[in-house]
A and B are shown apart, each in its own frame.
Chain A
Amino acid sequence: MKNLFISIMIISISYLAQSQSAYDIVDKAENMYKGRTCKGSFTMTVVTPEFTRTVKMDSWWVGNEKALIIIKSPAKEAGNKTLKIGNEMWNYLKATETTIKIPPSMMLSSWNGSDLTNDDLVRESKLTDDYDLKIIAEETIDNEMCWKLELSPKPNAPVVWGKIYYWVKKVDNLPAILQFYDEKGSLHRTMYFSDIKTMGGRKIPTKWTIVSNKKQNNYTTFVYDNVQFDVKISDRIFSFKELEK
């Protein structure tokens, strides 16, 4: 009797321990490249069969709550800004000096032509909030040993995915690959993290590539040029007045 009880305790503790660590792994990985606040400049390149476009932007993030992104180049788009507060989003367009709130009908259209939608950018929730996490294997990706985690959406989470597979490198707890599957098991999107460099005092993947598995030759890359973490960012910049400067 006692043995049974202890075995059960041990099993549940180790199970808890395992879940805990799955949570920790993902949480850490997500925070790696977000930080409490984050300020940086990056270059986005969108590649489709019809065109290739390169945009340079500056961004300021406070957790996942507030963000401001300003386009620096090309000249045609320079000065355009995207402001996110909570789950609402506004675009400021320099050409006409107007600020427009993104209505739900545009939430699901692409942000600046990339493979990310406006909704992706705005999504407040974190992977750890919306999904149940489990380590299911250990695999080698690009000569690096990774945990393979399976993320299953929680019952009422407002996400369309059926499963997300997340490979996190064991050595530095940095994300390597994310795969998004629908409920029928069809792969829609893959995200790759590469070019590990030290920036802003941390080791982070400086190149993120989002590949559409449904459309041929459609992918978007984000390359960090420089970034600083946990610096003080004044709340003032997340205001409409600042937007229209």
Chain B
Amino acid sequence: MLILKLAWRNLWRNKRRSILTILAVFFATLLSVTTRSLQYGTYEHNIKTAIEMFPAYIQIQKLGFQSNPSLQKSFVADSNILSTLKNIKEIKAWSSRIYSAGLVSYKENSLGAMIFAFDPDLERNTSTLAAKIKSGDFISNSAQKDIVVGYKMLENLKANIGDTIVLLSNGFDGAMNSIKLRIAGTIRMGSEEFDAMALFMNLSIANELLAMDNRINVIAISLSSVKDIPPVLTALKSQLKDSSLAVLSWDEVLVELKQSIEFDNSGNVIFLILLFIIVAFGILNTVLMSITERFREFGIILAIGTKQSVLLRTVFLENLFLTLFGILIGSLVGWIINLIFANNPIYMSGEIGQIYEQFGFVPALYFDPSIAILFETAIVIFIISLITFIYPAFKLLRLEALKGIRYT
């Protein structure tokens, strides 16, 4: 108890020293909190952008479709599936899709096409595809024979928006079927190959063309954030009664995307470690200086008979108070900054911004305002502070009364 009182009073005795120590911890915490927020924010944002573009957060498919896609690997969205989807509250929206391959013909040119068919109204709520329109319009339910093609496909076909093309494809039963469709718009997804082969059309027309009889290949599900994925996955897996269906999260559908994002993220971890090392030195310096500064004082205390352990504990408590306080303010201020930037992302202008946009990314720096970051960082900084106390404590223990008094 006495030690506590002593420690507390010591802090107030030299305000400047206390403030500087608090500042060191404050800066360390602040910097770490904002950097981590930026990292998480960017990470989540990249995933979100990529997922929401078309793949969606979760997909329901027929077992085996992912490794060997074909029309035969399809299913009907029956009442069990529909009611399950309605009952899971995290599910924001969903869209049924058919995936197939076909041939697009315009005058003398014909090209291979990857067909993606969906209900445009449902799709608008599920993915941001409609926003990727380069020119013309997206497909709509009022003009069902409209399609959207990759802009490169339009160029290769030497066609224009408004032209009618013929789409050929083998149906579910193997029969070849064809239909005339009107190009309503073009899209740019950022991948040249994709933009040369992508064709988006209306689900009901595809259903007829491919003799699917209301079967579909994929149900794409949209959520509010990636954090909702695990609970929704579990809910779906347990509530869907059809065991021939597979429920996949986006990273099982796009394995390479996940790996490249992880790869980016690993760079972040290295950077964070570097940051921690630097701020650790900052704290070490401050604590060390404030302790060595007081060697004269300590020398006297020891000389009048205080035990070393008491001295150590007092100094340790002082350090503890300062550290905790520094972490507290640092976290608070950091959190406010995160919150501000999370709601007002910093936009990158100029050339860099343009390049990002070309590839479908919004050119801005995103912050994550979640509180979990504060706790994570606080614990790390706290541990760092404890570790940095070791050296000064060591110095303290070696102090001899007389040496301390004579210390200048």
B110-136 Cβ-contact flags toward A at 8 Å (1 or 0): 101000000000000000000000000
CA distance A5 to B213 in the complex (A): 74
Q: Given A98-B166, A100-B103, A105-B112, is A114 in contact with B174 using a C-beta cutoff of 8 Å? A: yes
For residues 324 through 353 of chain B, which have their beta carbon under 8 Å from a beta carbon of chain A? none
A103 to B101, CA, bound (A): 14
The verdict on A109 contacting B110 (CB below 8 Å), with A100-B103, A103-B103 known, is no
Count of chain B residues with a beta carbon within 8 Å of a chain A beta carbon: 19
- Binary flags per residue of A29-54, CB closer than 8 Å to B gives 1, else 0: 00000000000000000101011010
Let me know if B166 and A53 touch, CB within 8 A.
Answer: no
Q: Which of B112, B175, B180 has the most CB of A within 10 A?
A: B175
With A96-B166, A100-B166 known to touch, is A51 a contact of B173 (CB < 8 Å)? Answer: yes
Contact in complex: B178, A98 (CB < 8 Å): yes
Question: Do A93 and B168 have beta carbons less than 8 Å apart?
Answer: yes
Q: In the complex the two chains form, what is the Cα distance from A55 to B175 in whole Å?
A: 9
- B217 CB to closest chain A CB (Å) equals 13
Give Cα A46–Cα B211 distance, bound, in whole angstroms. Answer: 16
A interface footprint on B156-180 (CB within 8 Å = 1, 0 otherwise): 0000000000101011111111111
Interface status of A21 (Cβ within 8 A of chain B): no
B residues near A184, Cβ cutoff 8 Å: none
Chain B proximity of A92: nearest CB distance (Å): 10
A111–B279 Cα gap in the complex (Å)?
Answer: 69
Collect the chain A residues with CB atoms within 8 Å of residue B110's CB. 100-101, 103
How many A-B pairs fall under 8 Å by CB? 64
Please indicate the chain B residues that have their CB under 8 angstroms from the CB of A77 in the complex: 175-177
Whether B290 is near chain A, meaning CB under 8 Å from some CB there, is no
Task: Summarize B's interface: helix, strand, loop or mixed.
Answer: strand
Specify which of B105, B175, B179, B180 is in contact with A53 (CB 8 Å cutoff). Answer: B175
Secondary structure at the A interface, as helix, strand, loop or mixed, is: loop
Once the chains are docked, how many angstroms separate the CA of A76 from the CA of B260? Answer: 47
Complex Cα distance, B103 from A112, in Å, reads: 14
Binary contact readout A75-102 vs B (1 if CB under 8 angstroms, 0 otherwise): 0110010000000000101011010110
B239 CB–A CB distance under 8 Å: no
Residues of A contacting B174 in the complex (Cβ-Cβ under 8 angstroms): 46, 48, 51, 53, 110, 112-114
B72 in the interface (beta carbon within 8 A): yes
Chain B residues with CB under 8 A of A103: 103, 110, 112
A17 at the interface (CB under 8 A from B): no
Residues in B with CB closer than 8 Å to A114 are 174
User: B178: which A residues are within 8 A, CB to CB?
Assistant: 93, 95-96, 98, 100
Which residues on A sit within 8 Å (CB–CB) of B171? 113
Which residues of chain B are within 8 angstroms of A98 by Cβ–Cβ distance? Answer: 105, 166, 178
Q: How far is the CB of B245 from chain A (nearest CB, A)?
A: 16
A–B pairs, 28, beta carbons within 8 Å: A48-B72, A48-B174, A50-B72, A50-B172, A51-B173, A53-B173, A53-B175, A55-B175, A76-B175, A77-B175, A80-B176, A91-B168, A91-B176, A93-B168, A93-B176, A93-B177, A95-B178, A96-B166, A96-B178, A98-B105, A100-B105, A100-B110, A100-B166, A101-B110, A103-B103, A103-B110, A106-B103, A109-B170
